[in-house]
C-alpha cells in the first residue's frame, strides 16, 4: 500500500449492471448480483445516494479489530455505459483513493463461473469499465466474473443482455457466493493473497 492510500481509507465496491427489473437476471448484471449478496452480508439495504446516480450500502467487512474495513457498496443507476459518472461522484464524496475501488463485472473471455482478480489494465470492450476508466483512470481493482463467449453467431450485445441459461442458473448462486468471498478477501487480505485463492 503506498503512502497516498491511508490504511483507514474506505473501499468503494461497485457492482456493474443495468437498472430495472427487465435486466435483473442478465449476464451483464452479475455485478449487481454480487453487490446484493455483499449488502446482505453486511446487513444493509441499498438506498439512493444523495445526488449521485447510484444506490449505496455502507458497512464494514472483516473480523473485529484492525483487520476490519469500512466499505461502501454501490450499484450505479445510470446505464452500464455511463457508470463512470456515478462512481466518480461517490469516489469524491466518500474520499476513496482510486486504488481502493473494486469493480465487479461480467467477463466474456473467461469461462462461465471462473474468477480473475486484477489491478488496472484495459477494458476489453466492457462499456462499464470503459466509462469508469475515462472518469478516473484505470488503476482500480477488478473482480472479473466469467460468462464465456456467445454460442454460434450470436452477437455479444444480445448474449450479455440475455438471462443466464437454465443450465447455468443451477450453479449461479454458488458462483455469486464465491465472487462475494473473493471481494471480501481482496479488501481484507490484499490482492496477491486473494488472487492465490480465487484466480483458479
Contact 91, 10 (CB under 8 A): no
Cα angle 24, 27, 33 (rounded to 5 degrees) comes to 50
Which among 28, 105, 126, 141 is annotated as catalytic?
Answer: 28
Beta strands at 115-119 and 141-146: parallel, antiparallel or unpaired: antiparallel
| Residue 141 annotated as catalytic | no
Phi, psi of 182 (to 5 degrees): -65, -40
Q: For the residues of 130-183, what is the DSSP string, one character each?
A: HHHHHHH-S-SEEEEEE--PPSTT--HHHHHTSBPPHHHHHHHHHHHHHHHHHH
Closest by CA to 38, choosing from 183, 200, 188, 196, is 183
Strands lying side by side in the sheet with 11-15: 47-48, 54-61, 69-76, 11-15, 101-107, 141-146, 115-119
Q: Which residues are catalytic?
A: 28
Amino acid at each position: 500500500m503506498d503512502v497516498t492510500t491511508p490504511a483507514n481509507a474506505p473501499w468503494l465496491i461497485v457492482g456493474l449492471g443495468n437498472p430495472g427489473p427487465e435486466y435483473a437476471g442478465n449476464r451483464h448484471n452479475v455485478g449487481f448480483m454480487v453487490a446484493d449478496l455483499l449488502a446482505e452480508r453486511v446487513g444493509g439495504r441499498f438506498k439512493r445516494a444523495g445526488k449521485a446516480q447510484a444506490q449505496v450500502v455502507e458497512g464494514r467487512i472483516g473480523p473485529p479489530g484492525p483487520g476490519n474495513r469500512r466499505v461502501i457498496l454501490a450499484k450505479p443507476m445510470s446505464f452500464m455505459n455511463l457508470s463512470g459518472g456515478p462512481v466518480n461522484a461517490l469516489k469524491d464524496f466518500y474520499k476513496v483513493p482510486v486504488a481502493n475501488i473494486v469493480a465487479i463485472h461480467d467477463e466474456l473471455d473467461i469461462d462461465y463461473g471462473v474468477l480473475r482478480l486484477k489491478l488496472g489494465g484495459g477494458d476489453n470492450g466492457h462499456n462499464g469499465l470503459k466509462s469508469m476508466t475515462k472518469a478516473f483512470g484505470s488503476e482500480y481493482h477488478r473482480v472479473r466474473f466469467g460468462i464465456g463467449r456467445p454460442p454460434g453467431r450470436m452477437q455479444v450485445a444480445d448474449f450479455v443482455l440475455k438471462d443466464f441459461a437454465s443450465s447455468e442458473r443451477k450453479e449461479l448462486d454458488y458462483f455469486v457466493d464465491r465472487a462475494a468471498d473473493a471481494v471480501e478477501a481482496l479488501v481484507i487480505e490484499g490482492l496477491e493473497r486473494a488472487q492465490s485463492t480465487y484466480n483458479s
